[in-house]
Amino acid sequence: MSMVESLAHEFVEYVPDELVDGVLYVSIPYATVVHRCCCGCGNEVVTPLSPTDWQLTFDGETVSLHPSIGNWSFACQSHYWIRRNQVRWAERWSPTQIAAGRSRDRLDKAEQFAEPYRDEWDTAGRRDTASIWRRLIAWLRGSG
Ligand SMILES: [Zn+2]
């Protein structure tokens, strides 16, 4: 069991059954990145790519993943960043920090899914509809 300090990336279509330590498998067709936990515990870490999950940056030579990878569901509870194929270890989080991080994740997701412009439009639309109804009712009552 040895900690991985740097990774090699491999662009694949399908993730192989047997993963090799220190290799980051990037599947663009499936928008997924898979690697073995960098602590050496052997667990498979799956990081889906989407605007609300992880974002992958490929600078032509190296890859980076954002945000950090927190393997809270594994016994190792490892937490690290992958920046330009380098593993940057974070301090071990306390259970409180983990809970806070998780709720922040949910908050981030909620914010990502919110569409402020459409909300604005919806509010305006509802107001317009309400006033049309009021005018129509007034007209029907013969007072419009
Ligand atoms: Zn691990």
Residues 6+ apart with CB under 8 A from 113: 52
So what's the pLDDT on residue 88?
92
Burial state string for 83-104 with b = 16 or more CB within 10 A and e = fewer than 16: eebebeeeeeeeeeeeeeeeee
Interval between CA 72 and ligand 1 midpoint (Å): 9
Q: Which residue has the tokens 């960043």?
A: 81
Please give the model's pTM, rounded to 2 decimal places: 0.66
**pLDDT tens, residue order, the chain (144 aa):** 588 999 999 999 999 999 999 999 999 999 999 999 999 999 999 999 999 899 999 999 999 999 999 888 889 888 899 999 999 998 666 777 777 766 666 555 554 444 333 333 333 344 455 666 677 777 777 765
Domain segments of the chain: what residues?
A: 8-113, 115-144
Interval between CA 87 and ligand 1 midpoint (Å): 13
Query: How long a stretch of residues is the chain?
Result: 144
So what's the pLDDT on residue 132?
65
So what's the pLDDT on residue 16?
92
Interval between CA 3 and ligand 1 midpoint (Å): 9
